Amino acid sequence: MGRAYRILVVDDEETIRSMLRDLLSANGHQVDDAVDTRSAVQLLRGREYDVVLTDLMLPDGDGLEVLRIARSRPYDPEVLVITAYGSIDSAVEAVRAGAFDYLTKPLATQKLLLTVDRAAERRSLRTEVSNLRREVGERYAQKNLVGTSAAMRRVLELIDIVSATDSAVLIQGESGTGKELVARAIHYGGARATRHFTAINCAALPEALLESELFGYAKGAFTGAATDHKGLFEESDGGTLLLDEIGDMPLLLQGKLLRVLQEGEIRRVGSAAVRRVDVRILASTNRSLPDLIRDGRFREDLFYRLNVIPLVIPPLRERAEDVIALCRHFLTVHAGKLGRPPQTLTPDALQVALHHDWPGNVRELENVIERAVTLTSSLEISADEFQRILGLGHVPARPAAAPAAADAGSLQNAEKDTILRALREAGGNQTRAAIALGMGRNTLWRKMKKYGIESRI
Ligand SMILES: Nc1ncnc2c1ncn2[C@@H]1O[C@H](COP(=O)(O)OP(=O)(O)OP(=O)(O)O)[C@@H](O)[C@H]1O
Ligand SMILES: [Mg+2]
What is the 3-class SS of 260-275, one letter each residue?
HHHHCEEECECCCCEE
Nearest bound ligand to the CA of residue 180:
1
CATH number, domain of 100, equals: 3.40.50.2300
Between 405 and 223, residue with greater pLDDT: 223
Judge whether 398 lies within some domain: no
Distance separating alpha carbons of residues 302 and 305, to the nearest angstrom:
5
Report how far apart the first and last C-alpha atoms of the chain are (Å, whole number): 46
Residues 161 and 16 placed together within one structural domain of the fold: no
Distance separating alpha carbons of residues 259 and 267, to the nearest angstrom:
10
With both helix axes pointing from N to C terminus, report the angle between 88-96 and 63-72 in degrees, rounded to the nearest 10.
Answer: 20
Residues 231 and 280 placed together within one structural domain of the fold: yes
DSSP E strands, 109-203: 169-173, 197-201
**Protein residue with its CA nearest to atom 23 in ligand 1:** 176
DSSP 170: E
Quote the percentage of the chain above a pLDDT of 70.
Answer: 91
Of 47-61, 69-83, 133-147, the range with the lowest mean pLDDT is 133-147
For ligand 1, whether the C-beta of 181 sits within 6 Å is yes
Ligand 1 atom nearest 407 alpha carbon: 26
Residues 119 and 145 placed together within one structural domain of the fold: no
Residues 255 and 375 placed together within one structural domain of the fold: no
Choice from 143, 155, 363, 410 to test ligand 1 binding pocket (greatest atom count within 8 A of CB): 363
Distance separating alpha carbons of residues 233 and 264, to the nearest angstrom:
10
Judge whether 399 lies within some domain: no
Residues 38 and 83 placed together within one structural domain of the fold: yes
Angle (nearest 5°) at CA 57 between 53 and 59: 110
Asked if the model's pLDDT at residue 70 lies above 90, the reply is yes
> What are residue 147's phi and psi, to 5 degrees?
155, 135
Residues 285 and 332 placed together within one structural domain of the fold: no
pLDDT in tens, 424-438: 777 777 877 776 676
Distance separating alpha carbons of residues 156 and 167, to the nearest angstrom:
17
Distance separating alpha carbons of residues 200 and 281, to the nearest angstrom:
11
Judge whether 341 lies within some domain: yes
Answer with the one of 313, 346, 361 that is the final residue of a domain: 313
Asked if the model's pLDDT at residue 349 lies above 90, the reply is yes
105 band by pLDDT with thresholds 50, 70 and 90: confident
DSSP 237: T
Ligand 1 atom nearest 244 alpha carbon: 27
CATH number, domain of 435, equals: 1.10.10.60
User: What's the confidence (pLDDT) of residue 406?
Assistant: 39
Nearest bound ligand to the CA of residue 153:
1
DSSP 221: S
For ligand 1, whether the C-beta of 190 sits within 6 Å is no
For ligand 1, whether the C-beta of 224 sits within 6 Å is no
Judge whether 433 lies within some domain: yes
Residue 291's CB is within 10 A of a number of other CB atoms, namely: 12
Residues 282 and 162 placed together within one structural domain of the fold: yes
Answer with the one of 135, 156, 191 that is the final residue of a domain: 135
The answer to whether residues 298 and 254 touch, using CB atoms and an 8 Å cutoff, is yes
Quote the percentage of the chain above a pLDDT of 90.
Answer: 62
Judge whether 116 lies within some domain: yes
User: What's the confidence (pLDDT) of residue 34?
Assistant: 95
**How does DSSP assign 51-115, residue by residue?**
EEEEESEETTEEHHHHHHHHHHSTT--EEEEEEETT-HHHHHHHHHTT-SEEEEESPPHHHHHHH
Residues 17 and 32 placed together within one structural domain of the fold: yes
Judge whether 231 lies within some domain: yes
Mean pLDDT for the stretch of residues 273-287: 95
Residues 126 and 271 placed together within one structural domain of the fold: no
Between 144 and 159, residue with greater pLDDT: 159
Of 195, 185, 184, 180, give the one whose Cα is nearest residue 237.
195
HSE, side-chain direction, 13 A CA sphere, residue 218: 11
Mean pLDDT for the stretch of residues 404-411: 49
Q: Can you give the residue range of the structural domain that contains 420?
A: 405-450
pTM metric for this prediction: 0.64
For ligand 1, whether the C-beta of 414 sits within 6 Å is no
Residues 228 and 358 placed together within one structural domain of the fold: no
Asked if the model's pLDDT at residue 399 lies above 50, the reply is no
Judge whether 151 lies within some domain: yes
CATH number, domain of 372, equals: 1.10.8.60
Answer with the one of 269, 289, 313 that is the final residue of a domain: 313
405 band by pLDDT with thresholds 50, 70 and 90: very low
Mean pLDDT for the stretch of residues 336-346: 90
Q: What is the mean pLDDT of the chain?
A: 87
User: What's the confidence (pLDDT) of residue 369?
Assistant: 95
User: What's the confidence (pLDDT) of residue 275?
Assistant: 93
Bond before 106 cis per omega within 30 degrees: yes
**How does DSSP assign 398-442, residue by residue?**
--TTSPPHHHHHHHHHHHHHHHHHHHHHTTT-HHHHHHHHTS-HH
Strand, helix or coil at 201? Answer: strand
Residues 171 and 300 placed together within one structural domain of the fold: yes
Mean pLDDT for the stretch of residues 404-423: 65
Residues 381 and 358 placed together within one structural domain of the fold: yes
Of 177, 147, 156, give the one whose Cα is nearest residue 358.
177
417 band by pLDDT with thresholds 50, 70 and 90: confident
Distance separating alpha carbons of residues 433 and 269, to the nearest angstrom:
17
Asked if the model's pLDDT at residue 411 lies above 60, the reply is no
For ligand 1, whether the C-beta of 185 sits within 6 Å is no
Judge whether 77 lies within some domain: yes
Report the DSSP pairing between strands 51-55 and 6-10.
parallel
Q: Provide the domain count of the chain.
A: 4
CATH number, domain of 233, equals: 3.40.50.300
For ligand 1, whether the C-beta of 173 sits within 6 Å is yes
